[in-house]
A and B are shown apart, each in its own frame.
Chain A
Amino acid sequence: MTDLLEQIARLALPLVLATLAEVVAELGGVVNLSLEGMMLAGALTAWLVAAGGGGAALAPALLASLAVGAALGALLALFVVGLRANAIVVGTALHFICLGATGLFYERLKGSSSATTFAEIGGAASAVPYVGTLVLVAAIVLLLTRTRFGLHLRAAGDDPAALRAAGGSPARTRVIGLLIAGAIAGLAGATLTTVLTGTFVEGMTGGRGFLALGLVLFARWNPIGALLAGLFLGSLFALELRLSTRSSQGAAPGALTFVLRALPYLLTITALALAGPRKSSAPGALGRP
């Protein structure tokens, strides 16, 4: 039983972080379509820094992923906030860039040594990612509800005019929000390398970033919701893994696997369809400058 729980937690980790990143971005009013790309960049960075470095290299690897993610967030902010360009277009473009760049580096560096994962170090260190994530979720909750910045960020995403009338700067607030979101996204990717596997494979995010875009809805733009949604998905994935290892060729499990994996997407669409035009807890100014 414990290894089922452990599996769920492990599978949930990148999703929780990715959803958390998107919650921060969207509360500020920006839909980040390049989430998937940012995760890939974070994963690659973590691997590059950690490969062959043993346990000691893990902390720097995470920091590096944070930095790379934040840099990408800055790039997104430059276009969406600075140039007031359409977030969908820029997000797609950034996604391509990350996809291509990570594939590029992967080709050149594949075959190099793998990185150590937290689990391999063993002992207390193996719990670090999970504890850390919980701490991060709590920290984001505090940031959003108990600081001036959090207040301004939520106002920027809900009604930028109101924030401006109150003397705040929606632009500056959003930029910082995107930096944070990018950093967390990079971290989400890093967990793929440093917690789940020990290596980097091209395209290893496997659509998790896009999935997170739908999960934000279920999380109701709430960090705790991100945690729960991520866990829920982690359970679905764990279930699917168990089913597929049990019988690898049967058609029934195949269909079930499909249903399980398609479920999050379908549920998101259903939720959207039921909610109608004004999603009740969505930031009011989502997608508007």
Chain B
Amino acid sequence: MTSPLRFRGIGKRFGGRVALSGVDLELRAGEVHALLGENGAGKTTLVRIALGLLAADEGALQVDGRDVAIDHPRRAARLGIGMVHQHFSLAEGLTVAENLLLADAPALFSRRALHERAAERLRRRGVLLEPARRVRDLSVGERQRLEIARALERAGRVLILDEPTAVLAPAESDELFAQLERLRAAGLAILLITHQLDEALSIAQRVTVLRDGRVALAASRGEVTADALARALFGEGAAAAAPSRRLVASGARGMPGATAAPVLRAERLAGERLGPVDLELRAGEVTVVAGVDGNGQTELVETLAGLRRASSGRLERPTEGVAFVSCDRQSTGLALDLPIAENVAVKRGFLARAWFTRRELEAATRPALQRFDVRASGPWQPARTLSGGNQQKLVLARELAHEPRLVLAENPTRGLDLRATAFVRGELQAAAARGAAALVATTDVDEALELADRLLIAHRGRLHPCEATRAAITRTMTELAAGGRS
């Protein structure tokens, strides 16, 4: 059996961080291979190496049994390795035919000839699309099919798909899988990158799970259970967790006397890719929303924060004293070109009057900056120059300095080093201990377990209660995955 692509012992570091280590993965013709892993597990890095965008530090790539060096995307294409990204690169104003033949249109052509050529190529790939339609008028699923056809035009032996169902409705996902099955049967090797256990189980012949840059599990479908997959994905037994700054008086949280009215209440709240959701957040309690990315967490947090409007349902939320820590530090959390002090003062509550002197601004913001340990040479340094960890601390300084009643955070420690991660988690807990109601959405299971007084799992826009233990999480996720698309 030919192996159009094989990773042998691939290793890669970025600075001090190990992204990949000793990764073995073999793709075979006529086979769908699912690659599972959390964010940051190394899937993207691995794929970029195969596409010639990155060079591996260790190990080798092999095509048909021979070592190859893929140093440029064009080389990857010539070796037959193609990819369909999550974000399509299609020109919307052009037609299907025009997009398909953009790479190798003849210098002169008639419209009919172009359409015929496009139709023939689409037919060969088993893609059903009309050449004359404008991409703008296509549904997401149809656009994806066009992307697949385009990728196969460029490179026809290996097709890599990056989270293809993240943007699809359930019916479209079924169509996609049907097409992938046809392509597989025709001899294509398919690498399917996904978060979703149920996809891997339903369509793949073989599965590899990456965790922290290493292969945690590699098996063929018949050999593996959903439970084993989940355990490999989320880990069993704590990974070397950093010591967190738990408050000494841990009994201060979740006090049984907390029967006061909820700080936030949502009834049948629904919006795009969200809901309906029923939720109550109480003072002093940290509610964690766990789950893989793309299940409505961003939509939920932003709707609760007032940044998005729900399309139906009721939301009672405080209008003041809301702290919002977005997952998008750089354009929602901060104004990067502004100095640190101004990034803090943008929020109400720091400056007493509508006007201020430089000294007043410094004085008003210094306590918060010190308290949250924002390391910088001075308050007038532009926020852009701070490290990622310090930028997040800056966001916290702004949001948490004034004892908020409600804290909403999404993936607050993503991309941060161990120390910053511990700091942020500690501060979130401290805020709750002082009486805030907190909701933290995170894809990191360790973080979920550390912070949660109450745990919910997000799945396809809805929330499912779950016990705050690792076993319960894996079990619930497996069940949700096996329950299929709701």
Contact = CB atoms under 8 A, between A and B. Distances in A.
Q: Are these two chains actual partners, yes or no?
A: yes
A158 B91 contact: yes
A283 B93 contact: yes
A281 B90 contact: no
Q: What secondary structure prevails in chain A residues at the interface with B?
A: helix
A66 B79 CA distance: 47
Classify the interface of chain B: helix, strand, loop or mixed: loop
Nearest to A152: B102
Interface stretch (B105-113, B354-362, B395-403): B105-113
Contacts of B116: none
Contacts of B108: 146-148
A166 interface: yes
B144 interface: no
Interface string B93-127: 11000110111011111110000000000000000
A162 interface: yes
A146 B94 contact: no
B93 A281 contact: yes
Contacts of B105: 148, 151
B46 to A, nearest CB: 21
Contacts of B91: 154-155, 158-159, 162-163, 284
B107 A148 contact: yes
Contacts of B259: none
A19 B440 CA distance: 54
A166 B93 contact: no
Contacts of A154: 91, 93-94, 98
A167 interface: yes
Contacts of A145: 111
B98 A151 contact: yes
A284 B107 contact: no
Contacts of A151: 94, 98, 101-102, 105
B93 A158 contact: yes
B89 A147 contact: no
B92 interface: yes
Contacts of A155: 91, 94, 98, 102
A1 interface: no
A159 B107 contact: no
B92 A159 contact: yes
Nearest to A147: B108
Contacts of B90: 159, 162
B104 to A, nearest CB: 8
Nearest to B88: A162
Contacts of A159: 89-92
Contact-residue size bin, chain B (C-beta under 8 Å from the other chain): 10 to 19
A262 interface: no
A168 interface: yes
A163 B103 CA distance: 8
A149 B102 CA distance: 10
Contacts of A163: 91, 102
Contacts of B98: 151, 154-155
Interface string A150-173: 011011011101110111100000
Contacts of B101: 151
B133 to A, nearest CB: 15
A161 B147 CA distance: 14
Interface in A197-252: none
A124 to B, nearest CB: 31
A162 B89 contact: yes
Nearest to B103: A166
B102 A162 contact: yes
Nearest to B92: A284
B109 to A, nearest CB: 6
Given A146-B110, A151-B98, A158 B103 contact: no
A277 B292 CA distance: 33
A64 B192 CA distance: 59
Interface of A: 145-149, 151-152, 154-155, 157-159, 161-163, 165-168, 281, 283-284
23 contacts: A145-B111, A146-B110, A146-B111, A147-B109, A148-B108, A148-B109, A151-B98, A151-B101, A151-B105, A155-B91, A155-B94, A155-B102, A157-B93, A158-B91, A158-B92, A159-B89, A159-B92, A163-B91, A165-B89, A168-B102, A168-B103, A281-B93, A284-B92
Given A148-B106, A151-B102, A162-B90, 9 more contacts: A147-B108, A147-B109, A151-B98, A155-B91, A155-B94, A158-B92, A161-B89, A163-B102, A167-B103
